[in-house]
Amino acid sequence: MAGTYLLPDVVGSAAARDLFLTGRVVEADEALGLGLVSRVLDPETFRAEVLASAGAIAEAAPIATRLTKRALQCPHASIEAALEWEGLAQPVTLATEDLLEGIRAAQEKRPPVFRDR
């Protein structure tokens, strides 16, 4: 599963070594501190917060969101590779009607209605 390759990038080599060799359970606050999770939610509000996050992602510009997800799924070997990917992806998003809709919506202080797919 490539954990020994991926985990040190997230938590650092010392923490990865500790976690792999001890097999200990990591509690929520430590997972947050290590960068294993982006946030810790209260169990009582968990469902509502997850649905709100999903809704915000679903309301974002679809083409830009899809390209961002693709870039984040495939870690780049170098900063040059990341810049090359972004250099290819940005003109695609800049050529969409969604860009203009996002600008208009911000100017008009209303939620955008994205139509590009």
Task: State how far the Cα of 86 lies from the Cα of 48, in Å rounded to an integer.
Answer: 33
The pLDDT value given to residue 73:
80
The pLDDT value given to residue 5:
87
Which tokens hold the place of 77? 């070997």
The pLDDT value given to residue 54:
96
- For the chain, what are the domain ranges? 61-117
Contacts of 65 (CB under 8 A, 6+ apart): 57
Q: What is the pTM of this model?
A: 0.69
pLDDT tens for each residue of the chain, 117 residues long: 788 988 998 999 999 999 999 999 999 999 999 999 999 999 999 999 999 999 999 999 999 999 988 888 877 778 888 888 889 899 999 999 999 999 999 999 999 999 887
The pLDDT value given to residue 38:
95
Q: Which CATH superfamily is domain 61-117 in?
A: Lyase 2-enoyl-coa Hydratase, Chain  A, domain 2 (1.10.12.10)
